Structure formats: structure tokens, C-alpha cells
């Protein structure tokens, strides 16, 4: 296991290099002087000249990349054009908010997906199975931003049960209860696609497990159905489910970016949205880098978890 873990951790280095290189090259792919783009149109000539020297714009492309990477590793992510403050002071709290939302939607996706999948898979072709699988078909294609609007319309505007905007009440700022209330609708909206995928996967894995030889053997031995499901079948379907969870985290994060815009959730998605509109390049670069790195790390953790559960995958 240890050697697998080391190998897997080393494998993310080239991916991270590639990701950072792609983010770095954004500035150079946009036509115009990189120094002007980073400082904004309002920058003075002296400032531009100084930055040109700092960025090493007279040096070869790969040395420029090296300088940029070294700055990033030192934690110097640059200065926001529109806000005139260091990028990391803005983005780190937003990253945490996005991770809270992603965590919430992951919980909805896992709890909802497993529950629906198990109930449907235990009794295939029952009315519950048919209805839930009918909706699950649409789930994979649901435009997240649309679902967010529909949920907001029904539960916030019409019924008034849940808040429609932001992350917490201004009065009870930061209380856990308030955040949880604000988290429900955005989490459901961001989780919809993955929830549908998860429910379908759980259902089909459970049906496969029921048709397998080991379950037939247990049944022949007279082991109770409850024991078969929860002790044996469930453990076997856990590995594909965990694997899929890792794949779905990207979709959850992507969904969160849209949902944040609809619900004004103060996360990286809303920030990226306004930074792109405001052409705030350092902000866009750092935001993209943050999301991509957390995505790579989450996948790493997930792969390690899956491998620790299923020794066959370690080789």
C-alpha cells in the first residue's frame, strides 16, 4: 500500500506542472502586453516597465514560466486589478466557501444517491424503482443553473421555506444553523447530476451483486436477506461507488460554480464570474489554479481510499 501511495502521489506532480503551465499561458495567449494585462489598463508606464522586468519578459518563455511558478510557490499570487489587494487574501476565504458548498453537495449526492439506488435496486421494477430511474435519466442532463433557479423559485420565493441569497443571515452572521439553512438548496442543485449518476450506479451494482455466485451461496446457506445486503453485498458495491465519487467531484465543483452565481454564494464561482466580466486576469488565473489543484488533490485522496479498500487495484 505504501509503495502504491508514493507512486500515486508522485504521479500528480506532472499533472500539477501541466495545470500550472496551462494557467500560466493564459496571459500569453491573450493578445497584448502581458504586463499591461496583469496590471490593468490604468497602470502607469513605470509600473508596467517594472513588472516587465519582474516577470522576465525579455527572457525566454520557459524561464518566465519558472519565475511565475517560483512566485506562486512562495504564495505570491499577484494583485487583483479591480480590487487592488493581494489575490490570495480574497481567494482563500472564497475557496473555503466553495469547499463548504462542494462538501454539502457531496453529502446530498452520497446520501440521496445511495438511498435511492439501494431502495430501487432491492426491488427492481417496483413502482419506486421505475419512478426514480425515470427521473435519474433526466438527472444526467439537467442544466444545473436551471435547476437552481427552479428550486429557488419554489422553495424560497413561493413557499418561503429557505433563503434565496447568500451564505448566512446578516443578523446571525456565521452561525452554523444559518449556514446550513443557506446550504440546502445550493447543495441540492449542485448535486443533481451526480446524484442521478450515483443512484443508477448503486442500483445496477446491487443488482449485479444479487446475481453473483457469492450471494447465491449465502442464500443457499440460509443467511438472512438483511445480512446479505448490508454485510456482504454492500461492501462489494462500495468500491465502484467510491471510485465514481472521485469522478463526480469535478462535476460537483463545476456545478457549484453555476449554483454560486444563481444563489449569490460568496465562493470561487461567483468570484471567477465577476473577475472574468471585470477582466481581472490575476484573479482568474489564481481562481482556476485553486479549483484545479483542489480537484487533483481530491482525486488523489479518493484513489488512495479506493486502493485501501480494494487491494486488487494497487497493482
Partner 1 sequence: MEKFEPVLETKQVLQHPLVFDRKENKLKKLWNVFKKDKLAVMGLFIILVAAAVSLLAPIIAPYDPNISNGSKRLLGIGTAGHILGVDEQGRDILSRLIWGGRTSLLTAVVPITCMFSLSLILGLLAGYWGGKTGEVIMRLLDVLFSFPTVLLAIVVSAIMGAGVLTIMVSCCLTMLPYMTRVVYTSTVTEKTKEYIEAAKILGANKLQIAFKEILPNVVSDLIVYSTSLIGVAMVLGAGLSFLGLGVQPPTADWGKMTSDGMKVLTLGAPHVATIPGLIILIVATAFNWLGDGLRDLFDPHKRTQ
Question: Hey, which residues does 86 pair with through a beta bridge?
Answer: 79
- Bridge partners (DSSP) of residue 79 are 86
Which residue from 10, 14, 127, 315 is in contact with partner 1, where contact means CB under 8 A? 14
Q: Cβ distance 149 to 264 under 8 Å?
A: no
82 is a contact residue toward partner 1 (CB under 8 A): no
d(C-alpha 194, C-alpha 136), whole Å = 10
Contact (CB, 8 A) for 148 and 165:
no
Residues 226-245 that bind partner 1 (CB under 8 A): none
Q: What long-range pairs does 152-156 form, CB within 8 A, spacing at least 24?
A: 152/185, 152/262, 152/263, 155/185, 156/185
- Of the candidate residues 118, 191, 242, 291, the single one contacting partner 1 (CB under 8 A): 291
Q: Which stretch binds partner 1 (CB under 8 A): 39-47, 53-61, 285-293, 304-312?
A: 285-293
If one asks whether residue 261 binds partner 1 (CB under 8 A), the answer comes out as: yes
How many residues sit close enough to partner 1 to count as binding (CB under 8 A)? 49
272 contacts partner 1 (rule: CB under 8 A): yes
Residue closer to partner 1 by CB (options 19, 122) is 19
Q: In 264-280, which residue ranges form alpha helices assigned H by DSSP?
A: 268-277
- Nine cell digits for residue 40: 490593468
Contact flag: residue 131 with partner 1 (CB under 8 A): no
Q: Report CA torsion sign: 165, 171, 174, 175.
A: negative
Q: State the cell numbers at 171.
A: 443578523
Residues that bind partner 1 in the complex, under the rule CB under 8 A:
14-15, 18-19, 22-23, 26, 29-30, 125, 130, 137-138, 140-147, 149-150, 152-153, 157, 203-204, 207, 250-251, 253-254, 257-258, 261-262, 272-273, 276-277, 281, 284, 288, 291-292, 295-296, 299
Amino acid at each position: 500500500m505504501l509503495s502504491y501511495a508514493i507512486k500515486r502521489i508522485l504521479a500528480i506532480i506532472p499533472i500539477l506542472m501541466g495545470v500550472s503551465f496551462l494557467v500560466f499561458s493564459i496571459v500569453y495567449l491573450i493578445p497584448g502586453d502581458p504586463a499591461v494585462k496583469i496590471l490593468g489598463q490604468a497602470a502607469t508606464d513605470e509600473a508596467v516597465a517594472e513588472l516587465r522586468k519582474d516577470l522576465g519578459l525579455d527572457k525566454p518563455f520557459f524561464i518566465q514560466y519558472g519565475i511565475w511558478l517560483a512566485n506562486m510557490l512562495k504564495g505570491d499570487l499577484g494583485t487583483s486589478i479591480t480590487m487592488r489587494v493581494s489575490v490570495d487574501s480574497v481567494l482563500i476565504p472564497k475557496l473555503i466557501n466553495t469547499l463548504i458548498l462542494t462538501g454539502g453537495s457531496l453529502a446530498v449526492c452520497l446520501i440521496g444517491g445511495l438511498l435511492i439506488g439501494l431502495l430501487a435496486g432491492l426491488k427492481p421494477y417496483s413502482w419506486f424503482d421505475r419512478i426514480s430511474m425515470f427521473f435519474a435519466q433526466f438527472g444526467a442532463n439537467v442544466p444545473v443553473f436551471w435547476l437552481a433557479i427552479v428550486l429557488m423559485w419554489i422553495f424560497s420565493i413561493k413557499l418561503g421555506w429557505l433563503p434565496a441569497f447568500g451564505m448566512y443571515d446578516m443578523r446571525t452572521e456565521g452561525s452554523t444553523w444559518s449556514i446550513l439553512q443557506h446550504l440546502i438548496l445550493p447543495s441540492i442543485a449542485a448535486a443533481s447530476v451526480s446524484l442521478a449518476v450515483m443512484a443508477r450506479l448503486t442500483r445496477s451494482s446491487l443488482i449485479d451483486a444479487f446475481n453473483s455466485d457469492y450471494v447465491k451461496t449465502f442464500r443457499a446457506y440460509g443467511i438472512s436477506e438483511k445480512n446479505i445486503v448490508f454485510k456482504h453485498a454492500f461492501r462489494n458495491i462500495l468500491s465502484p461507488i467510491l471510485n465514481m465519487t472521485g469522478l463526480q467531484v469535478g462535476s460537483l465543483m463545476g456545478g457549484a460554480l453555476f449554483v454560486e452565481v444563481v444563489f449569490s454564494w460568496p465562493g470561487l464561482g461567483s468570484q471567477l464570474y465577476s473577475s472574468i466580466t471585470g477582466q481581472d486576469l490575476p484573479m482568474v488565473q489564481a481562481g482556476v489554479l485553486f479549483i484545479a489543484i483542489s480537484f487533483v488533490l481530491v482525486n488523489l485522496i479518493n484513489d488512495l481510499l479506493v486502493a485501501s479498500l480494494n487491494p486488487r487495484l494497487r497493482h
